[in-house]
Amino acid sequence: MRALPAGGTRTATTADWRGGGRLVQSRRALAAGLLAVAVAMTAVPATGAAQPATASPATSTSDSAATQAHTAGRVKVSGESLLYSWPGVYFEGRFRGTGVGIVLNDSAADYDVQVDGATVATLVKPGRTTRWVNGLRDAEHTVRLVKRNESQWVGSEFGGFVAASGGAILSKPAARGRQIEFIGDSLTVGYGNTSGSRDCSGDQVNRTTNTDRGYGALTARGLGADYQVNAFSGKGMVRNYNGGDPGNHYRAYYDRALLHVPGDVWNPGTWRPRLVVVYLGTNDFSTALNPGEPWSSRDSLAAAYRTAYGEFVQRLRNRYGGDTTIVAVGSGTFANDVQRVVQERNGAGDSRVRYWFLDSNGLDFQGCHYHFSANDHQVVAGRFRTFVDGLGVRW
C-alpha cells in the first residue's frame, strides 16, 4: 500500500469540530478543550457467524481499489489505492469465500465494516493494516466499509479488499441510478449523534460521531440512492463558529477531495446528483459577532450571507445543470434569510431551487454539545423524505 501524502498533519482542537452549536439562543454554549490525539485501536466483536475483525500488516491487492470497490465519495486515485477526506465515504465490494480483508492506512478516522448488510466490526483509528473478517459461510457475500467521522487535517487511504484463502474478489456492485449530495456542517456530519450525552470530550465526539447514521445517509438509503456527505463541522457560508478561522469558510473547501491539501480540486467524473441539499447557516449566526469581525451588525452579516448563498447556489447550478433540484434548508434564526435566497432564485427563473424549513420540534438534541441524536437524525430524515417525495425530482 502506498503511503499517504506528506504534510498537512496537525492536532485538531474542539473548535475544528464545532458545527451545529445551538439551534436556538437558549442552548448552552459548546464545551471547550483539546481533542485527545491517542486512542487505543479496537474492533467490535463480529455478529452472526463472522469472527471478529483482526489485524495484520498491510498487504497489496491483485487489483486496484478503484476496480474492486464501488464508491460515490470524493476520492482520488493514488497508484492502487484511493485517497479521501470527507466523512461518510463508503466502499462496497463483492467476494466469494469464508473471509475478506480490508486494506487501510488511516490513523485518524473510524470505520464500520458491514458484511451482507450487517455491521460486523468497528475500527477505531486502524492505522496501516489489513483488517480481516473470517468465519463466514463459504458463499458469495457483499462487504461495505464506511468512514464514520471527520478527519479534515489528514488524508485517508483505502487499498482495496483481499479474499481469504480459496476465495476470490468478485466484480464490484453497480452504481445506483440515483445520486444525492448533502452539504452542511456538524449537524449534517452527525456530530456526536450516538453519544447519548451532551457533555463530551474531543475524543468522545470522535468515537460517537457516525455519519452513516445521519439524516443524509438515512434519506439516501431510503431512496435507494448513492450519496455524498460533504459536510465540515464548524464551517459556515461566510462565518465560522464564533468567528473562528476567518476566510476559511465552507465555500473555500467545497471543491476539494482532500481537505488538508490547499488548492486540491476534485474531478466530479460521473457524479451528477439530481438532488443537492444545502444546510449551512447555523455557524454563521449561532454566536454574537466579536470585535474586529468584518460585519458591523447582524443585518450586515445576513446581507453577506445571502449574497454568498446565492453565488454558491449558482456554482452548484453551473456544475450540475438545470435538471438538478437544489434544496436550501432553513432553521432557527437564519430561516428567513435562506427563504429570501430561494425567492430571489425563483424570481430569476430557477424554479428547481426549493426551500425546506427544518422543524426542530420534538427533537431531543441529546448528541454531543446539543447536536442531533441518532433518534433526531431518524426523525429529520423521515420529515425530509416526505418533503422530497413531493418535489418531483428528475431522477
By annotation, the residues acting in catalysis are 186
* Half-sphere exposure in the Cβ direction for 53 (13 Å, CA): 26
Beta bridge partners of 156: 84
